[in-house]
């Protein structure tokens, strides 16, 4: 019996937690980089899982200080699922929000570092990546938390949502203030339980994506318990940030699926613009129950017009890609540039002109998601900086942390940090600069 694709090659888990110091660097790390580059991803502790999305979370971190690669460490997130085999529901059928792999993202807000998965509570990590425990905002968070919260660069607020599968409300919107206090939770009415992986934020709106990949109880235990539903429809929902308990206004769009938005903003003409990676469909099941998992996403733009109640939909490129990011200081604003991982390359898009530049890592070298590290402390963002990503080399079966000049993407890497171990393919992460650095 062949090994499933999500457990083979560089998807296969690593078996050890390591700590290594004084890493070898080719090139020169910028002196301005002092902090942690962290990235989360599935790494099943028992070397098996039914789907890539289900593996136990492992965070891989590289510590940089003033031009030196000080250390590397990788640590499993010790959730109740990891330590005790807990599942999403207890023996009485009650939801256990501490149970989940915490394998999708790692973010920092109000001084806390949180490992996230969309089906459970966050897990807080120490500065050394040890697991502190589940975090529920002082008992106020009563739903799961998306793995893609959005931090407003103007207010410092953290906007996020949780979705449910067995009973309404199927969607709840949350807001935490800059100090980390959960100050808002409100249900949002949607027709049924969908896999809402991401959403978007602008200066004036929260943008929900209600799309036709729906939960199916009959598929539980058979891989991903979601399927494409031709009858569900697809729409964008706009909620005004200054009226968070107000009406969500919905706009129909062509059926599709979006795992990840790139960014969104309020245009001067009153429209709301969203960029994201669009799949034409996802999770359609054949008569024998099999699923086509080879669908690919490309960059699209949606422009919702509240005055007319319509949405203009435009394809921006035909290169398949994923993991779109911007300078996080421009979240919700009219960012000029965004970047996407496309096969063996990183592509930087000029979101205003449509031009692009790319860096190809070469045959057998596969980058993951790239995070933007600013070269200055200007909170307005949009200035120079670097892109950081783990790159796996199939020839050596080792991984590097590669640092690129975001404004000169085609140039050779600024620096390459050689890691002591392989970093399996994973999901999302961030450059977390030291406070005051």
Which segments are annotated as binding site for Fe cation? 148, 197, 260, 428
Length of the chain, please?
A: 437
CB within 8 A of 411, min separation 6: which ones? 359, 404, 405
188: its two tokens: 């949002």
Sheet order of strands, 249-252 included: 200-201, 205-210, 235-240, 249-252
Instruction: Find residue 226's DSSP bridge partners.
Output: 215
Q: Are 328 and 357 in contact (CB under 8 A)?
A: no
DSSP character at residue 22: S
419: its two tokens: 């890691």
How far is it, in rounded angstroms, from Cα 426 to Cα 81? 19
169: its two tokens: 């409300």
How far is it, in rounded angstroms, from Cα 318 to Cα 299? 7
> How far does Cα 267 stand from its chain's mean position?
25
- Provide the 10 A C-beta neighbour count for residue 30: 17
Q: Are 40 and 59 in contact (CB under 8 A)?
A: yes
What are the phi and psi torsion angles at 215 (to 5°)? -70, 140
Strand (E) or helix (H) holding 346: strand 345-350
User: Up-side HSE of residue 320: CA atoms within 13 Å toward CB?
Assistant: 8
For the range 276-279, what are the long-range contacts, defined as Cβ-Cβ under 8 Å and sequence gap of 24 or more? 276/198, 276/200, 276/209, 276/300, 276/302, 276/324, 277/321, 277/322, 277/324, 277/340, 278/315
Closest by CA to 282, choosing from 302, 255, 260, 263, is: 255
How far is it, in rounded angstroms, from Cα 14 to Cα 320? 28
159: its two tokens: 């906007």
How far is it, in rounded angstroms, from Cα 301 to Cα 271? 12
Tracing tokens 């110091």 back to the chain, one arrives at 21
CB within 8 A of 370, min separation 6: which ones? 323, 325, 339, 341, 346, 387, 388, 389, 404
CB within 8 A of 136, min separation 6: which ones? 97, 121, 142
Closest by CA to 144, choosing from 197, 181, 93, is: 197
């Amino acid at each position: 019996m062949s090994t499933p694709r999500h457990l083979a090659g560089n998807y296969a888990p690593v078996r050890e937690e390591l700590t290594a110091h004084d890493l070898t660097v080719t090139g020169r790390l910028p002196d301005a980089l002092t902090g942690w580059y962290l990235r989360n991803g599935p790494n099943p502790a028992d070397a098996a899982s039914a789907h890539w999305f289900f593996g136990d979370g492992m965070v891989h971190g590289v510590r940089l200080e003033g031009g030196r690669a000080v250390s590397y460490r990788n640590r499993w997130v010790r959730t109740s699922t990891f330590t005790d085999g807990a599942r999403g529901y207890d023996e009485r059928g009650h939801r256990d929000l501490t149970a989940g792999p915490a394998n999708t993202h790692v973010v920092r807000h109000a001084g806390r570092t949180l490992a996230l998965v969309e089906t459970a509570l966050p897990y807080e990590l120490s500065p050394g990546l040890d697991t502190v425990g589940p975090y529920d905002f002082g008992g106020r968070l009563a739903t799961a938390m998306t793995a893609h919260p959005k931090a407003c660069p103007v207010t410092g607020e953290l906007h996020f949502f949780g979705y449910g599968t067995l009973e309404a409300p199927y969607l709840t919107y949350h807001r935490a203030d800059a100090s980390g206090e959960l100050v808002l939770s409100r249900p949002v009415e949607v027709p049924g339980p969908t896999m809402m992986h991401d959403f978007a934020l602008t200066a004036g709106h929260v943008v929900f994506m209600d799309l036709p990949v729906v939960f199916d109880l009959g598929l539980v235990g058979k891989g991903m318990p979601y399927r494409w539903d031709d009858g569900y429809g697809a729409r964008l929902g706009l909620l005004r940030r200054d009226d968070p308990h107000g009406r969500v206004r919905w706009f129909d769009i062509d059926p599709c699926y979006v795992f990840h938005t790139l960014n969104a903003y309020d245009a001067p003409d009153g429209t709301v613009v969203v960029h994201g990676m669009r799949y034409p469909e996802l999770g359609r099941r054949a008569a024998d129950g099999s699923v086509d998992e080879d669908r690919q996403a490309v960059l699209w733009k949606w422009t919702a017009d509240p005055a007319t109640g319509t949405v203009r939909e435009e394809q921006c490129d035909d290169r398949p890609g994923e993991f779109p990011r911007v300078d996080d200081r421009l979240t919700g604003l009219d960012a000029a540039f965004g970047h996407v991982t496309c096969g063996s390359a990183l592509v930087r898009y000029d979101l205003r002109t449509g031009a692009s530049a790319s860096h190809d890592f070469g045959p057998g070298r596969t980058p993951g998601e790239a995070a933007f590290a600013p070269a200055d402390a200007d909170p307005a963002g949009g200035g120079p900086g670097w892109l950081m990503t783990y790159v796996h080399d199939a020839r050596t079966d080792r991984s590097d942390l590669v640092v690129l000049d975001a404004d000169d993407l085609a140039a050779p890497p600024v620096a390459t940090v050689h890691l002591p171990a392989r970093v399996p393919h994973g999901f999302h992460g961030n450059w977390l600069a030291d406070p005051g650095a």
